Amino acid sequence: MAEIAAAVGAQARQLAYVNGTQLTNAPAEELAAELAGLLPEPLRYSYFLASGSEAIEAAVKLARQFWVESGRPGKWKVISRVPSYHGNTLAALSLSGREHYRRVYAPLLTDFPRIPAPDPYRHPGCAACTGDALEEAIERAGADNVAAFIAEPVGGSSGGAVVPTAAYFRRVAEICRKNDVLFIADEVMTGLGRTGRWFAFEHFDVVPDVLVLGKGLNGGYAPLSAVVASRRIVDALAAGSGAFNHAQTYSHTPVICAAGAATLRYLREHGLVERCAAMSPRLFAALDGLRAIPAVGDVRGIGLLAAVELVSDRETRAPFPRRLRVAERVTARALAEGLIVWPNAGHVDGEDGDLLMVGPPFTIAEDEIAEIARRLGAAIAAVATEG
């Protein structure tokens, strides 16, 4: 958008860089204020970085430092879910439940506790869907050893846009409070409107202790992410060491923060979050038509984030064998049809499982939604026919 590009250009001409560990700058202050105005209490204070992976690393370090400065240095473990994806740096990858990403780097990864993520399609009502799995994991690890629980409020590509129940997240929040465990919400993919609300956690009537933002914060105009912390966490650091023990060269850079502030203004002034919510029923009505194809097992998601799960047998929900590379083949066929989708594999058991992610722009028109469904349906049907 011209307004965002102009804001980035103007800032680059005025002041491109300052050292974020020593100096503040107007765009960083403006972006922090914009976010504080959108977020519920007690989320308040933002720390800006250049990628989602960096922000996850920083969030984990922040949780650890909080407990150390609170006089509880035994709390260091972070519980995460499988499947999930939190980034490609080492702590982020340690927390991710994507085995084909982790395999090569296994000797370098921290052995954090991991639990199953909710899967209402394959395992409705299981311990993962109720929150019992989290409570059991904390009991096994010992609450005095657990610093945080990290989760995507709405699953990304690893599990395929899984939307848990509000009861699940209310239970998660209760378990975390009871055991003095911080809740880190990874909204690198879903934050800033993608689910039809400014933040995905708003669908579940919970507020995390730490929020991680990324893609939606910058509109694609600059490498920008954020860690947003609650007052409780920042107050503990202020009363202790006086600072977050973290720094990166391009954190809080004026140009990237100017891109973020302009992006938030554009989203608000053009009502794009509300438009995302309004277009969601149309997207899912169109994609539901794909269920007529025998290889389509499930269509799920929220807002303008959708997943199509492909199966070899709809009755048993058996996945295709990984050797067939069905998701990748459908993606290639869709691209030939002029449609870009995102494939994922391995969510069923770490090896098998084929998903296609659909995430159209907030400005998409109704006729374009129909075209997405038509082209994707043609690609799935063609690959299914090939076997």
The reply to whether the predicted model has a pTM over 0.95 is yes
Structure tokens at 42: 């007690």
Q: What is the pLDDT of residue 385?
A: 87
For residue 114, the SS3 value is: strand
- CA–CA separation, 114 and 81 (whole Å): 5
Each residue's pLDDT tens digit, 240-255:
999 999 989 999 999 9
Phi, psi angles (nearest 5°) of residue 78 = -120, 125
**What domains are defined for the chain?**
2-269 (3.40.640.10), 272-386 (3.90.1150.10)
Is the pLDDT at 102 greater than 90? The verdict is yes
Q: Select from 150, 219, 156 the least CA-distant residue to 189.
A: 156
- DSSP characters over 124-182: TTSHHHHTHHHHHHHHHH-GGGEEEEEE-SS--TTTTS----HHHHHHHHHHHHHTT-E
pLDDT bin (cut points 50, 70, 90) of residue 164 is: very high
- CA–CA separation, 297 and 309 (whole Å): 5
Q: Taking every pair of C-alpha atoms in the chain, what is the biggest distance, in angstroms?
A: 65
pLDDT bin (cut points 50, 70, 90) of residue 125 is: confident
Q: What is the pLDDT of residue 88?
A: 95
Structure tokens at 119: 């899967």
Q: What is the pLDDT of residue 127?
A: 83
Q: Select from 27, 39, 48, 46 the least CA-distant residue to 261.
A: 27
Q: What is the pLDDT of residue 254?
A: 97
Which amino acid is present at 4? I
